[in-house]
Structure 1
Amino acid sequence: MNGVRAIRRQHQNVADKPFIVIWESTRACPLACLHCRAEAVPDRDPRELDTAAARQLIRQIAAFGHPAPLFVITGGDPFQRPDLTDLIAYGGEAGVRVAVSPSGTPTLTADRLRAVHEAGAVGLSLSLDGSTPELHDGFRGVPGVYRWTLDAWDTARALGMKVQINTTVARHNLHDLPDVVRLVAEHGAMLWSAFFLVPTGRGRRLGVLTPAETEDVLNFVYDAGLTVPAKTTEAHHFRRVALQRKILADAGKDHVTALGLGPLYRRLRDRAAELGLDTEVRRTRRPPLDVNAGRGFAFVSHTGTVHPSGFLPLGAGSVRERPLTEIYRTSELFTRLRDPDGLGGRCGACEFRRVCGGSRSRAYGVTGDPFAAEPWCGYRPGSFPHQRELAALLAGGATGRSPGPDGSRPPSEDRAQRQDTP
């Protein structure tokens, strides 16, 4: 088995420090997105963390130690906050890398992007949920969002900013995903993230995918990783797919037959071939990073409550009352989520549970139990035939090198993780 890594481990002790902290700076947003987790509203909430409280939050993130977790300011629309650039600059002063995830609205102007860049933002995350205005604007609820998003994307790239493109995977765009990848390849992005819908907020009203469809899309995202740097959000079983695909490729086995992939995968692959994506192959694939709710990830709401994920509405405390470091390290909710042996159902019995763990947010959204089995995963524990090869990977061979005595990772691995934005 060759030495190419299938997944990447976090470089810090996940019980001590998250890799990423996302802050919902406001719920104010002029869009009416069909899937909105925040159920955004036009006006700002007077209970939001003010500038002083937001600075205190940044200091709490810095208190995790160097290097501090990546801090992502999202919303709603963070451009609704007049102190946005001040907070970005303050993060830099405190030793905290700050990225911004704005909404595609008229606030996303070249001047504002330039100001965010000059304030020190390390990256920009934008949403593109269709390859045409009809698909994207229909999903976002406002005409013109598609054009604003593409203009902002090109402007940010021209400024030298790192751009991540997020695509919500839902019924409206299942067959459009290759065309979205085509756009990402044409405009250029540091990363393309396929976000698998969680039934929370307005997203409860949207249709769900079957486990078989999810499997087909995950394998398409894996294929797309040779054309554009690709990852998933709230589809942690993508890491299982990455391990399976590596083992099958090393063994010279056909993954379509071995994994029982269906007609949706074939259609996505055929469309990718029509677009020429299979001829635009990157030299290396970006291995997915092993992060999950409460395990390398923390979310702070607009009012300061702390959650393991923005899509898991269970709270573990408030940064107004307890430091984020204490909540992350010691709260019962976070510590339980970091224990893969505490998972229930198929997830608890699965040999991939320590590198996957399933979406705890989707489990809660569907069943009311954050430790239940991942509803969009159809894998039967123990059914993958190459268990010996899998055990070798899970022991560390191709999942990333073991930390040194001081907990450090090789410089190349640290650089790779610093490239990640939300």
Structure 2
Amino acid sequence: MNAALSNPEWSKVESMAYDGFDERPFLVFWEITRACALACKHCRAEAQSHRHPDELTREESSRLIRQLAELKPPMLILTGGDPLMRTDALDLVREATAAGLHVGLSPSATARLMHADFAEIKAAGVERISLSLDGATRQTHDAFRGVSGTFDRTIAAVHRAHAADLSVQINTTLTRSNLREYEAFKNLMFELKPAMWSVFLLVPTGRAGIADLPDPQDIEHVFQDMASLVGRAPFAIKTTEGHHFRRVLIQRHGAGGRQRPGMRSPLGIRDGRGVMFISHTGVVSPSGFLPFDCGNVREEHPADIYRHHPLFISLRDNDALGGKCGRCEFRTVCGGSRARAYGVTGDPFAEDPACIYQPKLSGAVQV
């Protein structure tokens, strides 16, 4: 059995039917704090060592949870910074779970995590924990994270999560400097057997710059190899901000590629289109990598922002895409990274510079 099926509830959520991008996001990322003990080279949040004085209070956080329960996104991910830097993090998980939300947690591999009780994390309602491995060796990962010992703590955390029967997702950020480690990353995944390997294609925001982007041709080679693993590896595979992996899957596997474990449901999800990000101070953006201020949950209901803000509405429109993304027959299932387009060109509707594919001008692939 595929390891991704080891947690029936989370797998059920990931593959569930979806009733449309216009009404609600599929994924809500809530940055409950920006505080973190690490100093990662490409941190989106440019995390700091101390909590921000204007973070959402506990009362405001509880109200937000009630509002999100009304919105009913299939997945809520508590992230940061390091969410465990908030002492009430698991209380927020319990509240969200009691409100009917499916909750994931994305902690940093720090001493704080090593002191945590993984059975308690699961009992609080966390359905999946995501951990980052951005170097395939102790030396390269610790250099990326800016603190020694993070590689060993991450490996230990994976094993402790497995022991607590807590579903694990491993996130790997691909950059120009670590792309040469791809084979080693792959071997490590076969060793660790997470439920999901999520490969994040770098976006130039926060501490990451355009010079850190991998070459598009190299990305294509990696995606082709990843596509060959789908359905064969003892873990599911997906990409973050690497939406053209869906195009590679369909090209490789035909129509059936849309239903394979590497193709996250629903199709066409991207920044602002099925994705909503809420910052530690309540600012709502189309994603954490597309940091536009579209409103604040202190003043507006997140559902109203997602449904009615002009930027969200435009990002959900496949026909609003520019360049070759707007002409591409895969635009309804991919649409490119709006965050990377913005980070490189300043235009969130420009073509994704990380994709080498040239459209065939033959209409759109039907979802």
SS in 2 for 1:167: strand
Once the 2 structures are TM-superposed, how far is the Cα of residue 50 of structure 1 from its aligned partner?
Answer: 1.2
* Structure 2 equivalent of residue 55 of structure 1: 62
* Structure 1 equivalent of residue 366 of structure 2: 395
Query: Are positions 1:199 and 2:175 aligned together?
Result: no
TM-score computed with the length of structure 2 as normaliser:
0.90
Distance in 2, matches of 1:248 and 1:12, equals 21
Once the 2 structures are TM-superposed, how far is the Cα of residue 119 of structure 1 from its aligned partner?
Answer: 0.9
Q: Give the conservation status (yes or no) of the 8 Å contact 1:17–1:69.
A: no
* Structure 1 equivalent of residue 271 of structure 2: 293
Query: Are positions 1:362 and 2:340 aligned together?
Result: yes
Deviates more, 1:68-77 or 1:304-313: 68-77
Alignment of 1:156-171 (within 5 A): 156-171=161-176
Deviates more, 1:286-295 or 1:92-101: 286-295
SS in 2 for 1:214: helix
C-alpha change, 1:71 and 1:9, in structure 2 (3 Å) is closer
* Structure 1 equivalent of residue 10 of structure 2: none
| Cα deviations by residue, 1:239-278 (Å, 9 ceiling, x for unpaired) | 111111113999xxxxxxxxxxxxxxxxxxxxxxxxxxxx
* Structure 2 equivalent of residue 149 of structure 1: 154
Distance in 2, matches of 1:31 and 1:202, equals 13
Distance in 2, matches of 1:340 and 1:233, equals 19
User: More relative contact order in 1 or in 2 (CA 8 Å, sep 6+)?
Assistant: 1
Provide structure 2 residue ranges, at least 5 long, that are not aligned to the other structure. Answer: 1-14
| Cα deviations by residue, 1:294-323 (Å, 9 ceiling, x for unpaired) | 111100011000011100011211111110
- Bigger CA radius of gyration: 1
Once the 2 structures are TM-superposed, how far is the Cα of residue 285 of structure 1 from its aligned partner?
Answer: 4.5
Once the 2 structures are TM-superposed, how far is the Cα of residue 9 of structure 1 from its aligned partner?
Answer: 8.9
Query: Are positions 1:377 and 2:348 aligned together?
Result: no
* Structure 2 equivalent of residue 133 of structure 1: 138
Query: Are positions 1:344 and 2:322 aligned together?
Result: yes
SS in 2 for 1:108: helix
* Structure 1 equivalent of residue 3 of structure 2: none
SS in 1 for 2:238: strand
Once the 2 structures are TM-superposed, how far is the Cα of residue 205 of structure 1 from its aligned partner?
Answer: 6.6
| Cα deviations by residue, 1:195-254 (Å, 9 ceiling, x for unpaired) | 00000010127522222112112112212322131110001111111111113999xxxx
Deviates more, 1:208-217 or 1:146-155: 208-217
| Cα deviations by residue, 1:153-195 (Å, 9 ceiling, x for unpaired) | 1101110111000000012321212222222222221100110
Alignment of 1:248-327 (within 5 A): 285-289=261-265, 290=267, 291-327=269-305
Distance in 1, matches of 2:166 and 2:76, equals 16
| Amino acid in structure 1 at the alignment position of 2:193 | G
Once the 2 structures are TM-superposed, how far is the Cα of residue 112 of structure 1 from its aligned partner?
Answer: 3.6
SS in 2 for 1:47: coil
Which aligned segments of 4 or more residues in structure 1 are displaced greater than 6 angstroms? none
SS in 1 for 2:222: helix
SS in 2 for 1:373: coil
SS in 2 for 1:114: helix
Provide structure 1 residue ranges, at least 5 long, that are not aligned to the other structure. Answer: 1-7, 251-283, 397-422
Query: Are positions 1:219 and 2:216 aligned together?
Result: no
* Structure 1 equivalent of residue 121 of structure 2: 116
C-alpha change, 1:359 and 1:184, in structure 2 (3 Å) is same
Once the 2 structures are TM-superposed, how far is the Cα of residue 10 of structure 1 from its aligned partner?
Answer: 5.7
> CA RMSD for the aligned pairs?
2.1
